[in-house]
Structure 1
Amino acid sequence: MSYKIIVDSCGELTKEMKGSECFETASLEIDVDDYHIIDDETFDQADFLKRVAASPTSPKSSCPSPERYMEGYRCEADHVYAVTLSAELSGSYNSAILGKNLYHEEYGDKDIYVFNSRSASIGETLIAMKIAECEEQGMEFAQVVETVEAYISGQHTYFVLETLDTLRKNGRLKGVKAVVATALNIKPVMGATPEGTILQLGQARGVKKALAKMTDEIVKDLKNSKEKILAISHCNCRERAEYVREILMEKAEFKDSLILDTAGISSMYAADGGVIVVV
Structure 2
Amino acid sequence: MNDWQLVSDSTCDLNPESFDTGDIPFATVPLKILVGDREFVDLPETDPHELLAAMKRFSGASSSACPSPQAFAEQFYKAAHTIAVTITSGLSGSYNCAVQAMNMVLDEHPEKKIHVVDSRSTAGSMVLILRQLKKLIEQGIPFEEIVRQIESYRDSMKIIFSLANFDNLVKNGRMSRAAGVLASALNIRAVATNTSDGVIEVIEKPRGEKRAVERMVALMGRYKDMTGKPVVITHCNNPGAVQVICELIKSTYGTKDSDITVLECACLTSFYAGDQGLLLCF
TM-score, normalised on structure 2? 0.90
For 2:202 and 2:248, the matched residues in 1 are separated by: 21
Tell me the SS of whatever aligns to 1:182. helix
Amino acid in structure 2 at the alignment position of 1:160: S
For 1:131 and 1:263, the matched residues in 2 are separated by: 22
Tell me the SS of whatever aligns to 1:42. coil
For 1:263 and 1:19, the matched residues in 2 are separated by: 23
Residue 61 of structure 1 corresponds to 64
Amino acid in structure 1 at the alignment position of 2:205: Q
Count of aligned pairs between the two proteins: 273
Amino acid in structure 2 at the alignment position of 1:185: N
Show CA shifts across 1:150-176 (max 9, x none): 111111100011124435655779xxx
Deviation, 1:213, is: 1.1
Deviation, 1:273, is: 0.5
Matches within 5 A, 1:104-119: 104-119=106-121
Alignment CA distance shift 1:148-1:163 (3 Å): same
Q: Is the 8 A contact 1:89 1:172 kept in 2?
A: no
Residue 222 of structure 2 corresponds to 220
For 2:118 and 2:192, the matched residues in 1 are separated by: 20
Q: Is the 8 A contact 1:219 1:248 kept in 2?
A: no
Residue 234 of structure 1 corresponds to 235
Residue 186 of structure 1 corresponds to 188
Q: Is the 8 A contact 1:126 1:231 kept in 2?
A: yes
Matches within 5 A, 1:169-180: 170=172
Residue 45 of structure 1 corresponds to 48
For 1:203 and 1:62, the matched residues in 2 are separated by: 29
89-98 vs 230-239, greater mean Cα deviation: 230-239
230-239 vs 45-54, greater mean Cα deviation: 45-54
Amino acid in structure 2 at the alignment position of 1:233: T
17-26 vs 127-136, greater mean Cα deviation: 17-26
Q: Is the 8 A contact 2:249 2:255 kept in 1?
A: no
Counterpart among 250, 271, 274 of residue 271 in structure 1:
274
Show CA shifts across 1:112-141 (max 9, x none): 000000001111111111111110111110
Q: Is the 8 A contact 1:5 1:23 kept in 2?
A: yes
TM-score, normalised on structure 1? 0.91
Show CA shifts across 1:80-120 (max 9, x none): 01100001111000000000111122333311000000001
Flag structure 1 segments of 5+ consecutive residues without an equivalent. Answer: 174-178
Q: Please list every run of at least 4 consecutive aligned residues from structure 1 whose deviation after the TM superposition is greater than 4 angstroms.
A: 18-21, 167-173
Amino acid in structure 2 at the alignment position of 1:130: Q
Residue 87 of structure 1 corresponds to 89
Flag structure 2 segments of 5+ consecutive residues without an equivalent. Answer: 176-180
What CA RMSD, in Å, does the superposition of the two structures yield over aligned residues?
Answer: 2.3
Q: Is the 8 A contact 2:24 2:134 kept in 1?
A: no
Counterpart among 137, 140, 152 of residue 135 in structure 1:
137
Alignment CA distance shift 1:51-1:169 (3 Å): closer
Residue 253 of structure 1 corresponds to 254
Q: Is the 8 A contact 1:180 1:187 kept in 2?
A: no
Percent of residue pairs bearing the same amino acid type = 32
For 2:254 and 2:263, the matched residues in 1 are separated by: 20
